[in-house]
Structure formats: structure tokens, C-alpha cells
Amino acid sequence: MKTSLENAAAAIYCADEHDYRRKQCGLRLSDQLLISIDSLRSNWSKHVDVYVFHTGLLSERLLRQLEEYRVKVVHGRAPLRQEYLLANKILVGRDYQDRKDILFLDCDTRFHRGLTFDSEADIVVAYDALQAIAHEEYQTFFECVNVPMPNGLICKDLAYQYYCHGVAKQFPQFNSGVFFLKKRLQKLFYDEWETIFLLAYEHFRMMRWAFYLEQLSFTAAILKLDLNYKLFPPGINFICTPRAPDLCAWPREQISLEHYAGDTSRPLVFAESKIDLIASGIALPPKIT
């Protein structure tokens, strides 16, 4: 069943007004949030329910701006780990009380048009842009959290292989920045995600790849619960950045939801239907000799 989700799901963000996850281009998390919500209202739906969950105080100015977009603001509990604020998104599972399914969105996302995908699965996800860590480190992680090591084709450029070659049976390295989850699974999934993250954090917080622990735990929870997962079609959770430029030739009209992930990234700039690589910060301008 394909649906725009306007009546079936709520769009959910997690954001605080601080410099954590500030982009090198200067966009703070709150700036990214407003860009995303403005694009949602302009290019997808003026009526879909939108929530912002936060753990600290928000300024009156930001609250007024969110009110103008008809956003429901929820002040949740303290950060799951103060020194690892990436995990705050896991707290949404405790505090979201609506009856609708969940469409979770990182703040650095931008809508270009409405979303259409098969929403009958337990959870709908996307491959990350690049392989996050070494295969041996995955083995250590999954062994620690008591989840059998998954199978699948190992690709360094996951999204590219899926978009351009249709390779869907890859090793499950899912991006936790955009996903759809059935409401009936909210407590089960988020409880497992939190349990796995806290265990993994205690074991691996000093590792060089600790940045990925929240995302690794997201994938491990899906696998441990044996959820029926499906992949978003190409163009939803579209990632093309200075660190992952593989999809730089993908046409704008086939992008529904952009995700400019990573601190070196910025919202994409287009020249007609093509990504302007220089204006988007993906390529350097030619040197003047």
C-alpha cells in the first residue's frame, strides 16, 4: 500500500538549541530544524502533525517560530547521556504519545516533494551513504550486544550501489536519521534500542568509531527484534555530501527527502535539475593559474 502518510503518520524531530552538531557552514541544529520544517510545510504538507522533542530550554524566539509552523513542542527528560547527545533521539520513544505512526527526521533534512513508499512494513529504513566501520569492528559490536552477526554484501558505497545498481541485499548498515516505524511497535523497538545503546556505550565509548554507536544500536535493535523491514525507494533519505559524493549525478526531480548529513555538509544547491557541486561544497572550484 502506497501513501503520502499525511493522515497516517506524524513527523518527529529531536532538537535542542545548542552548538552540538553545528555544521561547518554555520548552521546550528535549530537552524537546520527550521529549514527542514519550512520545506516540509512548503513541499509536502501543511496539515501533517509535526513534533519537536527537546531536552533543554528553547528560546522564546524559536518557540514562536515553531508555533507559526503549527509544531507541537514536547519538553522531554534529561539527555540519555550528557556526553553523547546523538542518543537523544532514542528518548522520543518514551515521550511520544500520539496514536499515529512515526516518521523520524534528523534536523538536517529537507523536503523537495511528498513521500511515497510502502508503509505496511514494521519499519522502513535506508542504507547509509558509506560503510561506517570495518567489518571486524561490526563483529565485535554485534557479539557484545548479543545479536548474531548479519549477512549481506559488503559495499563501501552503500547508497550508490542501491540507487544505481539496485543492490538491496547488502550488509545492514542503516542510517538512523530518517525512518518510518509503526506505532504499535514504538515501545518494543525504542526500549530495545535504548538497552542495546547503553550496553554498547559502556563497552565502546572510547573507541574511535564511538560516534556510530547510536546508529549501530538502531540496526541491532531491528535485527534482534526480527522486524519486517523494508527500504525506502531511492530519493528518500538522499545523501550526497563532500564525504560521500557518489550520487552527485542524481537528478533533482528524483529527490524527495534530502539528508545533508555530516558536519562538512550543507543544503544542496541545484542548477536546474543537476546538483551544483561547487555551490553545494561537494567539489572545489578550479584553481586560477
| Relative orientation angle of helices 60-68 and 29-43, to the nearest 10 degrees | 10
Query: Domain boundaries in the chain?
Result: 2-240
CATH for the stretch 2-240: 3.90.550
Instruction: Give kind and range of the element (H or E) at residue 131.
Output: none
Q: Which residues contact 225 (CB under 8 A, 6 or more apart)?
A: 185, 188, 189, 192
Run of H or E including 105:
strand 101-105
**Tens of pLDDT, residues 240-282:** 999 999 999 999 999 999 999 999 999 999 999 999 999 999 9
What pLDDT was estimated at residue 289? 67
H or E stretch covering 186: helix 186-204
Is the separation of the CB atoms in 196 and 88 below 8 Å?
no
Q: Strand, helix or coil at 89?
A: helix
pTM of the model: 0.95
pLDDT at 78: 84
Under DSSP, is residue 148 helix (H, G, I), strand (E, B) or coil? coil
Give all strands of the β-sheet with 257-259 in edge-to-edge order: 109-111, 257-259, 236-238
Gap between the Cα atoms of 177 and 15, Å rounded: 12
Cell numbers linked to 152: 549481506
* End-to-end Cα, the chain, rounded Å: 57
The shares of helix, strand and coil residues in the chain, as percent rounded to the nearest 5, are 30, 20, 50
Residue type, 152: G
Sheet containing strand 50-54, edge to edge, reads: 71-75, 50-54, 9-14, 101-105, 174-181, 123-127, 229-231
Cβ atoms of residues 122 and 221 within 8 Å = no
pLDDT by position in tens, the chain (length 289): 444 689 999 999 999 998 888 999 999 999 999 999 999 999 999 999 999 999 999 999 999 999 999 999 999 888 999 999 999 999 999 999 999 999 999 999 999 999 999 899 999 999 999 988 999 999 999 999 999 999 999 999 999 999 999 999 999 999 999 999 999 999 999 999 999 999 999 999 999 999 999 999 999 999 999 999 999 999 999 999 999 999 999 999 999 999 999 999 999 999 999 999 999 999 988 877 6
Give the per-residue pLDDT at 26: 96
